Amino acid sequence: VKRIGVLTSGGDAPGMNAAVRAVVRTAVSHGVQCVGIRRGWNGLINSDFVQLNGSSVSHIINKGGTMLYTARSMEFMNPEGRAKALNTCKLLGLDGIVAIGGDGTFRGALALSRQAAEAGSHISVVGIPATIDNDIGCSHYTIGFDTACNTAIECIDKLRDTMQSHERCSVVEVMGRHAGYLALYVGIAVGATAVLIPEREVDFQEDVVEKIRRARLAGSTHYMVVVAEGAGSAFDIGKRIHDEVGIDPRVTVLGHIQRGGSPTARDRETASRMGYEAVLTLMSNRGNRIIATRDGRIVDLDMEEALAMTKQFQMDRYQVLEALTNNGGLML
Ligand code: F6P
């Protein structure tokens, strides 16, 4: 392996830069050249790249976002787009690509590698899971999740101050796409009154009205309801609380603020280990792999098998949440 490409694709996540840095520094230290592909798969289609060396990735480990920019490429979804991308791979003399992103990024990577094989050429791909949603089936953890949790917690703690002063109810929507991990972890960590996640069918009476009622009976005068975006709109939930509980909640959609910020220790460390493993995997000629965490260990899995894996819903954590939102004790 003489030359590899690295790209970030899909929604950005804090820690992507740390992963890029680890890929580049590991490659360079093994005498492998590294090319940064900009703007995700679009960069490969449009020959939008930059030669990277050890110092190109200085001072980025602490930065949110991605120095390589990111995009969700529509063109790459069709064979014509991928044919252009394969042409760029050939022109650049790439032996492999490290693709940092989510499920969609990995599906694109696999399609590229297969199309190359059909055309009689070869390109190895290795995926690194990075998304604040933590929704990648094969990996217990995805880069960016911890930072996003901490950002959401910091915001909700601030909301709590003003909700407490005004004796109000706050309804906060957190990201997560179709997954409720962010809401589940954040809900536990902020001591929410109620948490709605897409993995559990919502019974509004039981899951919201009753929980606010119990909190009120226990002496609370302010309430925090956390809604995963995949479970519904915070504005709809707020309106129902207004109509069915008779209080006047304030609604906050945290939005893209959850995607920014300096990565936490966990995200920097995980990204660094994954970036390192990704390059070693390519160098040992094991292509079409996804680097994943399984019970805290970093492993590499066959990409096709990994993409078919689903994550077990974290019932143990949900039980903690249920216990802490149901006990009628003082909330927050
Ligand atoms: O996948 C990350 C994520 O932030 C999701 O939580 C959210 O649903 C989506 O991306 C938002 O996408 P966009 O950046 O295109 O608005």
Which atom of ligand 1 lies closest to the CA of 182? 6
To test the pocket of ligand 1, the residue of 177, 229, 256 to mutate (highest count of ligand atoms within 8 Å of its CB) is 177
CA distance 218 to 224: 15
Distances (CA, A) of 219 to 34, 212, 303, 320: 60, 11, 52, 22
Q: What six digits make up the tokens of 184?
A: 């589940």
Pocket test of ligand 1: the residue of 135, 175, 182, 254 to mutate, having most ligand atoms within 8 Å of its CB, is: 175
Catalytically active residues are 133
Structural tokens at position 171: 């309804």
Name residues contacting ligand 1 (CB within 6 A): 11, 131-133, 175-177, 229, 259
274: tokens are: 């994954």
Ligand 1: residue whose CA is nearest its atom 14: 11
Give the CB-side neighbour count of residue 103, counting CA atoms within 13 A: 17
- What sign has the CA pseudo-torsion 280, 286, 291, 297? negative
Q: Are 21 and 8 in contact (CB under 8 A)?
A: no
Q: Are strands 223-228 and 49-52 parallel, antiparallel or unpaired?
A: unpaired
Residue 192: per-residue pLDDT: 97
Contact 14, 267 (CB under 8 A): yes
| pLDDT value at residue 326 | 75
pLDDT at 312: 83
CA–centroid distance, residue 51 to ligand 1 (Å): 29
Count CB atoms within 10 A of the CB of residue 2.
10
Q: Look at strands 49-52 and 33-37 and give their pairing.
A: antiparallel
The β-bridge relationship of strands 223-228 and 124-129 is: unpaired
Atom of ligand 1 nearest to the CA of 135: 1
What separation in Å is there between the alpha carbon of 38 and the centre of ligand 1? 19
pLDDT of residue 329: 45
Closest CA to 259 of 40, 22, 23, 70: 70
Residue closest via CA to ligand 1's atom 7 equals: 177
Nearest CA to ligand 1 atom 2: 11
Which residues in the chain show pLDDT less than 70?
327-332
- Name the CA radius of gyration of the chain, rounded: 22
Neighbouring C-alpha atoms within 13 Å toward the C-beta of 221: 6
Tens-place pLDDT, residues 30-54? 999 999 999 999 999 999 999 999 9
What is the predicted ipTM?
0.98
152 within 8 A of 174, measured Cβ to Cβ: yes
